[in-house]
Amino acid sequence: MGGHLPATVAAARNAVRAAVPRGSFVLVACSGGADSLALAAATAFLAGKGELRAGAVVVDHALQEDSAAVAAQAAGQVRALGLSPVLVKAPDVGGAGSEAEARAARYAAFEEALEETGADHVLLGHTLDDQAEQVLLGLARGSGTRSLAGIPAARGPYLRPFLGLRRAQTEAVCAHEALDYWTDPTNLERGPLRNRVRLDVLPVLEAALGPGVAEALARTATLARADADHLDRLARDALGDLLLPVAAPGCLALDLAGLRALGPALRGRVLRAAVVRLGGENPTLERIEAAERLVDGAGSAGPVQLAGHVAAYRERPDGPHGPARRALVLEGTAPEGRTGDRETER
């Protein structure tokens, strides 16, 4: 198209340019919605300039009657933009399928697409609005700094270039590029909590506090993620310092005195890191508090059941480490090395 380039289109292209390493081979995850189609258009423009190589992956969850037609239309539009290869995946979600099941199937399809094509990254179309919703959900759960950190801009092969753009901007990009985007009717249902946050909570906050609430929540996520990442690095270092030798496989022993000396911001993170190292999922706050009571010597010596088939107990004074190096022992039945710290934001 000739004429003046709209600022929204330039912003979308620059967002992809900033997020994707030059020369990368990427796949745009495209649902047919405005966000992912706008991402496909911006990425295709950069591919046309030789800045990167780009294909796409379209996932049909088959959870709605017209899902196959939506997937076919999305695939056709991204092919017309010049993306290649374009893979259409139809994973088996199983019956009605929950949001979590659909998400797991979607990421499994992305992993397959990465393996089949040899692509470096999958680009996801989450926007600043998604980020604001995620922060509000984290506040509602009371889950701490990591939950307030929201959706990561990059994790593993997954990149989210549009976390600084609003949904209205992606719709404007689609209008400029003459792309016919699909609106998922389930996004208008008020049953799911995320939808109520989007449709009811954020508009009320904007009306009461004035414009800019979503941007402020997104800034909160950026700051919280930096803090959480730093504390998690300190916790991993502390865990390494506190480990005691153990003879049994699938066990970790942590120096009890050293654990007690840690500040509260680190101690819970060290315990979480230990559980994850044994193959468990991140424990809830309730389970971590129970483990911390073990550390403090309150109540029984355990065991306390933590997430992912991991249990913790205080070693007796006459245990293998002796009274001078009493230990908190964690035993896991999950396979060693399996990580529970998988991407859970969206």
Q: Is 98 labelled a binding residue?
A: no
Residue recorded with tokens 């009320």: 204
Q: Is 24 labelled a binding residue?
A: no
Q: Is 33 helix (H, G, I), strand (E, B) or coil?
A: coil
Residue recorded with tokens 């996004």: 187
Q: Which two tokens stand for residue 83?
A: 């993306």
CB–CB of 291/304 below 8 Å? yes
Q: Is 31 labelled a binding residue?
A: yes
Residue recorded with tokens 């919280």: 224
Other C-beta atoms closer than 10 Å to the C-beta of 92 total 10
Q: Is 34 labelled a binding residue?
A: yes
Cα distance between residue 45 and residue 51, in whole Å: 9
Q: Which two tokens stand for residue 141?
A: 């759960």
Cα distance between residue 113 and residue 241, in whole Å: 40
Cα distance between residue 325 and residue 255, in whole Å: 6
Cα distance between residue 74 and residue 37, in whole Å: 8
Q: Is 214 labelled a binding residue?
A: no
**Which residues make up each annotated binding site for ATP?**
31-36
**Which residues make up each annotated binding site?**
31-36
